[in-house]
Chain A
Amino acid sequence: MTDSSAIQDIINELVSTERSYVKRLRILKSDYADPLRTFARNKETYILPAYEAKTLFGNVDSLLPVNEAFLADLEKMVAADGFQTVGHVGDVVLRHFKDLRGFEQYKQYYVKREEAQLIFEREMSKRSSQFASFVDVSVLWTIALDQVFMTVS
């Protein structure tokens, strides 16, 4: 028999982690990717050269709408009478993974990821790097903590 309370726990986990993930993706785009790529267009203002600025963030612009749409449906699902509007967890998940095929965008992200990592490490290790000063230490700290929690939970 389906263990409804156990399922409900995981649904809650799925929704709450999706909320914080979308929030972090938005910050990554608005506070890092967008400014660094805009600055890179001008010799006077660039912190990273254009190619590095573009590669570093991969296709994060394409990922954000995918997860925003997924989150919007998950929120509807957990709201009152949500099952009548978007269906149950299997319906919602399958719609986004199969019918909308949104998560296929992640394959593209993986392709550039290693190169992005090398750029990140190289730029961070440069002494007197403008990039390193740009990257807020507190934000990095949050990411590090977050990853620790992800590993243990």
Chain B
Amino acid sequence: MDPVQRIPRYTLMFRTMIKRMAPGDPQRAKLVEANDIASKIAQAETDEETKRASVMYCLGATVDGFPPGLISNSRRFIDCIDAQEVPDTILSPSASGTAPDTLHCSFFLFDDKLMIVKRPGNGEKGARALSGLDQLEKVMKGGLRPKKSGMSCKGIVDITEVAVTDVGGAGTTPVVSCVDSA
């Protein structure tokens, strides 16, 4: 039933035919070409697995204190976003006008967890660049080794514990709050 098995089955049949054909048979060359295309399509499935493993490899190498327990082949990385942590006071209108110290952080969203990391400096570089996720293809091919970036893990929360609040008003950004279980 699973369509995933159909393409490898084609390549098996194509290869068997190729083996039984005379080298000069014009049909043989066509099957060889079709088999190459089919193999590449089947390879796309393996690429997905490699990609998942590479994301975890990048995060483990670039985020200080990244919990090894977070690495699992059933956990899927969805996306990351850069944010600023603001003191509670800024949320109340009376505090507007003051310049609070902001903490540059980023959220890494997985299908079951949310990881909060602190970014180095004044947040000049985004988490995607710091972690090497912006060059994942290169990492997958072994052309780039992700290294320490100055990011550090500040906590992991279950996504069911995360609340996103829209504080209202035009142009305001949603506020993410959560119970830190780390």
Chain B interface bracket (under 10, 10 to 19, 20 to 34, 35 or more)? 20 to 34
| Inter-chain CB contacts under 8 Å: number | 95
By the criterion CB–CB under 8 Å, are B33 and A104 in contact?
no
B14 within 8 A of A: yes
Find out whether the CB atom of B4 lies under 8 angstroms from the CB atom of A113: yes
In the bound complex, residues from chain A placing their C-beta under 8 Å from that of B26 are 90
In the complex formed, the residue of B with least CB distance to A63 is B3
Which residues of B15-41 are within 8 A (CB) of A?
A: 16-17, 20-22, 25-31, 33-34, 37-38, 41
Q: How far is the CA of A146 from the CA of B3 in the complex (A)?
A: 13
- Size category, A interface: 35 or more
Nearest-neighbour CB distance to chain B for A19, whole angstroms, equals 13
Q: Which of B5-13, B115-123, B169-177 contacts A (4 or more CB under 8 A)?
A: B5-13
Q: How far apart sit A63 and B3, CA to CA, in the bound complex (Å)? A: 9
- Pairwise interchain contact B38-A2, C-beta atoms closer than 8 A: no
Contact status B34-A2, CB under 8 Å: no
For residue A140, which residue of chain B has the nearest CB?
B1
Instruction: Tell me whether A90 and B28 are in contact (CB under 8 A).
Output: yes
Q: Within the complex, which residue of B6, B30, B37 is in contact with A90, where a contact is CB–CB below 8 Å?
A: B30
Interface, chain B (partner A; CB < 8 A)? 1-7, 9-10, 13-14, 16-17, 20-22, 25-31, 33-34, 37-38, 41, 44-45, 48, 74, 76, 111
Residues of A within 8 A of B (CB): 1-3, 6-7, 10-11, 13-14, 17, 21, 24-25, 28, 58, 60, 63, 67, 88-91, 93-94, 96-98, 103-104, 106-107, 109-111, 113-115, 118, 143, 146-147, 150
